[in-house]
Amino acid sequence: MTTLEVWKTFEPDNYYKTFLDSNKRPDGRRLLKFRPVVVKVGTVSTAEGSATVRFGHTTVVCGVKAEIATPTLNNPHQGFVVPNVELHPCCSPNFTSGLPGVQAMELSQFIQSVLTSAGVLDLADLCVVPSKYSWCLYCDVVCINYDGNVYDAALVAVMAALQDVKLPKLTYDEENDKATVALERTLPLNIKSRPISSTFTLYSDTVQLADPTAEDESQGSGVTTVVVREDGSLCYLHKPGGRAVPTTTLDSLVLLAAKRVKKINEVIAKAGQEVD
Amino acid sequence: MGSRDSRRILGPEKSVAYSLLQPPCQRSFLNSTHTRTDGRSPADTRKHFLSVGLISEAKGSSYVEAGNTKVCCGVYGPRDVQRGSDFKMSCQVVCQVKMSPFSCPVRLPPASGDRDREMSRQLKNALESVIILDKFPKSEIDVYITVVEDGGGLLAACVTAAGLALAHANIDMYDIVVGASVLYHDKVMYVDPSRQEEEFEAKALRDPNNKNEEWGQLTVGMMPKYASGQVALMIQSGQMEANNLVEGLELATDLCTKLYNLVKKTLLEHVEIILKEEKEAIEGADT
């Protein structure tokens, strides 16, 4: 064990604070700097659309599986989008096997709220025959390596996978009341907006950490997630309790998030082109 | 399913795979030029890719890709046995294989299925004969596997991934275990089958008119260098004659030896990188 590791083991708070005092984090980043993002689409051939996303060491895979369902009586003209995030004990020792924990539930809910509030998909587009046949898109996100900030990584993975989706054409024969699905997958989804989230860990009143690692998350005392659409409009802001933030700080975080949207969307678009 | 899962976001009550509405297409085991559907000869293996160290918090981790099959494995421990479980002087191995919902052509429900549990059990039994259990008394080693995609030969890939991750975690073993799978169809042995080939066999099993054709699959997990080759796991399904089984085992042994060399190379490369980094760190500290 080196002296540094001993220090980290015995005085983790002091060790961490010393880094912050010189405006750096243990991984060498400045406080408001994001980690490099790598996006690869079409990584799972069994899914209708898929993407693997890395934020530094954090790795998540999203696969979209399309199935056919009957629209509900309430909304006979709408299809379904069902996002779920799985945090298996494989990706970090903090998770247990069995039913999803609080964090996984929170992440699933977050993805669903963003998809709805940003209006990513028009559910009516997913309905093929009203009251009879509609698509149900299961967007399952699996975390491979947990090193903090699965919020942003999961959303980027879902967005990249949705943009990769190709559905087969469904034709409906009204006379025989029979539907057939083509063998070739040709139809892409109509993506209405492309929201990107930016997560910050709140360490103290003056110190916020962008794109936190697992260590940053454990040292901080609250998170704020800002979701901005590609036109610069704010569509979702998530601040579940924790340390209070002054409104001026929040404003600056929103500005930072807005700057990042274009860049990440370019990365996703580039990943999509590489496959075609 | 009796009770509805309250911890996940639920879709519609019922949804079906769209492949049910697709026109049925006749598939044959071999393609028109009498080679395998992916162009391989019966003795050809798929392309393999192995790497270690992709899970930062795990004691050891590995990623194995064989054709389209993609699995990652994380090893945690040895650690204290969780309270409430039976006291044992030897080490306990906990194995959990988890298939991602999107890993198969038809979506799997996110909760653990029968196949997950079956594979976890088989893998646990195999690893118990690989790890030197007496070295870790009163402790527990957790081996978790996430299946990203099932492209055939899944159990074999899981065994290889577990062996590599255990080696990366510095856990004492008799030898590194590697897995291989062989398919028997129409009197020919096919090494390292893909999912299409496995599915074809599964269909043949269900077809009651297809009584004459012999077919079967053999999955072997072995330690090639321990006492001139020891088998830790051997699972055969379908029907084969006994001498075919012997032939299949020989083919699987050959593939295991090949994979073993690849595993060794991956670990050596990993060690070289660590040594290089350490050297650079020392040089950096000196200057």
The full 3-state SS of chain A, as one line of letters, equals CCHHHHHHHHCHHHHHHHHHHCCCCCCCCCCCCCCCEEEEECCCCCCCEEEEEEECCEEEEEEEEEEEECCCCCCCCCCEEEEEEECCCCCCCCCCCCCCCHHHHHHHHHHHHHHHHHCCECHHHHEEECCCEEEEEEEEEEEEECCCCHHHHHHHHHHHHHHHCEEEEEEEECCCCEEEEEEEEEEECCECCCCEEEEEEECCCCCEEECCCHHHHHHCCCEEEEEECCCCCEEEEECCCCCCCCHHHHHHHHHHHHHHHHHHHHHHHHHHHHHC
A32: nearest Cα among A244, A234, A226: A226
Tell me how far apart the alpha carbons of residues A62 and A54 are, in angstroms, rounded to a whole number.
12
- Cα A183 versus chain centre, distance: 30
pLDDT score of A177 = 86
Q: What is the CA radius of gyration of chain B?
A: 21
Can you read off the two tokens belonging to residue B54? 């992709």
Rounded mean pLDDT, B238-254: 90
Can you read off the two tokens belonging to residue A217? 């998350």
Q: What is the CA radius of gyration of chain A?
A: 21
A56: nearest Cα among B54, B52, B74: B54
pLDDT score of A139 = 96
pLDDT score of B233 = 94
End-to-end CA distance of chain A: 48
Query: Highest mean pLDDT: which of B31-45, B77-91, B140-154?
Result: B140-154
pLDDT score of A208 = 92
CA distance A36 to chain B (A): 16
Contacts of B98 in chain A (CB under 8 A): 86, 88, 90, 97
Q: Is the pLDDT of residue B210 over 80?
A: no
CA distance B242 to chain A (A): 35
DSSP lists the bridge partners of residue A69 as A134, B15
| Model pTM score | 0.93
Q: Is the pLDDT of residue A59 over 80?
A: yes
B229: left (phi over 0), alpha (psi -120 to 50) or beta: left
> Residues A11-44, buried b or exposed e (16+ Cβ, 10 A)?
eeeebbeebbeeeebbeebebeebbebebbbbbb
Contact predicate A26/A255, CB 8 Å: no
CA distance B199 to chain A (A): 14
- The residue with tokens 């050596």 is B268
Q: Is the pLDDT of residue A1 over 80?
A: no
> Residues B72-100, buried b or exposed e (16+ Cβ, 10 A)?
bbbbbbbeebeeeeeeeeebbbbbbbbbb
| B228 inside 8 A of chain A by CB | no
- The residue with tokens 């998030």 is A257
Tell me how far apart the alpha carbons of residues B203 and A175 are, in angstroms, rounded to a whole number.
33
Rounded mean pLDDT, B36-44: 87
* A180/B72 CB distance under 8 A: no
pLDDT score of B6 = 80
Q: How many CB atoms lie within 10 A of CB B42?
A: 15
| B56 inside 8 A of chain A by CB | yes
| B113 inside 8 A of chain A by CB | no
**Structural domains of chain A, with CATH:** 31-193+265-275 (3.30.230.70)
Distance set, CA A152 to CA A52, A105, A224, B18 (Å): 13, 15, 11, 31
CA distance B174 to chain A (A): 24
Q: Is the pLDDT of residue B205 over 70?
A: no
Q: Is the pLDDT of residue B2 over 60?
A: no
Q: Is the pLDDT of residue B4 over 70?
A: no
Contacts of B158 in chain A (CB under 8 A): none
Contacts of B59 in chain A (CB under 8 A): none
| B107 inside 8 A of chain A by CB | yes
Q: Give the range among A117-131, A221-235, B2-16 with minimum mean pLDDT.
A: B2-16
Tell me how far apart the alpha carbons of residues A212 and A149 are, in angstroms, rounded to a whole number.
6
Over the stretch A106-123, which tens digit does the pLDDT of each residue have?
999 999 999 999 999 999
**pLDDT-derived band of residue A40, with 50, 70 and 90 as boundaries?**
very high
Tell me how far apart the alpha carbons of residues B35 and B246 are, in angstroms, rounded to a whole number.
24
Mean of the per-residue pLDDT values for chain B? Answer: 89
With CA atoms as reference, the chain A residue closest to B98 would be: A88
Q: Which of A60, A110, A144 to mutate to test the interface with B (most CBs of B within 10 A)?
A: A144
Q: Is the pLDDT of residue B208 over 90?
A: no
Q: Is the pLDDT of residue A242 over 70?
A: yes
A32: nearest Cα among A217, A240, A166, A199: A199
Nearest to A100 among B7, B22, B148 (CB): B7
Q: Is the pLDDT of residue B61 over 50?
A: yes
pLDDT score of B265 = 96
* A82/B11 CB distance under 8 A: yes
Over the stretch B151-197, which tens digit does the pLDDT of each residue have?
999 999 999 999 999 999 999 999 999 999 999 888 889 999 999 88
Contacts of B105 in chain A (CB under 8 A): 46
Q: Which residues contact B12 (CB under 8 A, 6 or more apart)?
A: A69, A70, A72, A80, A136
